[in-house]
Amino acid sequence: AAEPKYLTGDKVALNEFIDKFDTFLFDCDGVLWSGDHVYEGVPETLQLLRSKGWVLTAPLTFTPHSPLTGKRTVFVTNNSTKSRGEYAKKLNGLDIPSDVEDVFGSAYSSAVYISRILKLPAGKNKVFVIGEAGVEKELASEGVPFIGGTDENFRRDITPADFQGIADGSLLDPEVGIVLCGLDFHINYLKLAHGLHYLRRGAIFLATNIDSTLPLHHDLFLGAGSVMVPLANASGQKPLELGKPSQAMMDAIEGKFQLDRSKTCMIGDRLNTDIKFGIEGKLGGTLHVQTGVDKKEDWQKKDAIAVPSFYVDKLSDLRHAA
Ligand code: PLP
Ligand code: CA
């Protein structure tokens, strides 16, 4: 691959970069913010991109980020614990005007895959959820039935009666045909035991995303890809994953937003999710920022998992385009 182009401080290169694309896919955590702290200059950068681009031929009756008045911005996150609506709320609260339809998360990606691609027949299409409310909300938005998740009945210690009932099937729901695993802050043996036994009975194994770690407070905690490991280990199966870098997610985004892949750029901080996602999706470009998990030293390594086509120190460096 060609050497990534460094854009920070290079006005000409920045403008060329922006002009190449009509759509930017933004990873969120590590690019726009860290936790609840929005990085300086990010709202202004989004505003600039949304106002840059095509000549207005109609009165300004569109939302500020309409593709007719500037670059289109889509927020693509692997965080399955929040729904798209909650993400839009967070974006608005951080001065990045957005609505639900601007967000594409791994919980929604999973729900879309289940309802529109898998399309299991009624009576076999229930999902056993290991995950938080974000997954439940997106499944509900697609009309997919589910159990588990945040249900208090699964947030307790396992008992001898549970072992018995899971083994003989009397405690299992015969309608479950899918086990979907996302990040679950209440992961426990009882849930894992249910998940395993649905898999042993032939359920399809899906994961919202496989991020091994979760960045919090300038450190790393267990991500969805780590809480799913016991199930993979015990079942001997690998889940089909539906967050970045899965191309099932890219295909769904392409369908929804009518992407011209050659004019789309993925912006992210992680090589094995964001940058790989853009490269495997054959997007026109990928931009790596230095404000999240991976740094340029990671793609400079010989065995780097993915190498971006562009890089900046931080997202707000794009503001220095003319
Ligand atoms: N998963 C969870 C639960 C998270 O909280 C986060 C970041 O906040 C992520 C994944 C990574 O999200 P992103 O893809 O926006 O970096
Ligand atoms: Ca990220």
Residue 228 has pLDDT above 90, yes or no: yes
Q: How far is the CA of 212 from the centre of ligand 1 (A)?
A: 11
pLDDT digits (tens, 9 = 90+) for 52-65: 865 444 444 444 44
Could you confirm whether 22 is annotated as catalytic?
A: yes
* pLDDT at res. 55: 42
Helix (H), strand (E), coil (C) string for 25-91: EECCECCCEECCEECCCHHHHHHHHHHCCCCCCCCCCCCCCCCCCCCEEEEEECCCCCCHHHHHHHH
Q: How far is the CA of 102 from the centre of ligand 1 (A)?
A: 17
Structure tokens at 95: 């001065």
Q: How far is the CA of 214 from the centre of ligand 1 (A)?
A: 6
pLDDT digits (tens, 9 = 90+) for 4-29: 999 999 999 999 999 999 999 999 99
Atom of ligand 1 nearest to the CA of 292: 16
* pLDDT at res. 68: 54
Give the ipTM of the model, two decimals please: 0.97
* pLDDT at res. 52: 82
Cβ neighbors of 92 (< 8 A, separation 6 or more) are 98
**pTM recorded for the entire structure:** 0.92
Residues with CB under 5 A from ligand 2 (ion): 27, 29-30, 269
Atom of ligand 1 nearest to the CA of 28: 15
Residue in 19, 22, 95, 102 annotated catalytic: 22
Atom of ligand 1 nearest to the CA of 244: 14
Provide the mean pLDDT of the chain: 94
Mean pLDDT, residues 267-280: 97
For the CA of 243, the nearest ligand: 1
Mean pLDDT, residues 173-183: 98
For the CA of 109, the nearest ligand: 1
* pLDDT at res. 67: 47
Q: Residue 70: pLDDT band by 50, 70, 90 thresholds?
A: confident
**Residue 61: what are its φ and ψ, rounded to 5°?**
-110, 5
Mean pLDDT, residues 21-47: 96
Pocket of ligand 1 from Cβ distances under 6 Å: 27-30, 77-79, 81, 183, 211, 214, 223-224
Q: Residue 69: pLDDT band by 50, 70, 90 thresholds?
A: low
Are 10 and 310 in contact, with CB atoms under 8 Å apart?
A: no
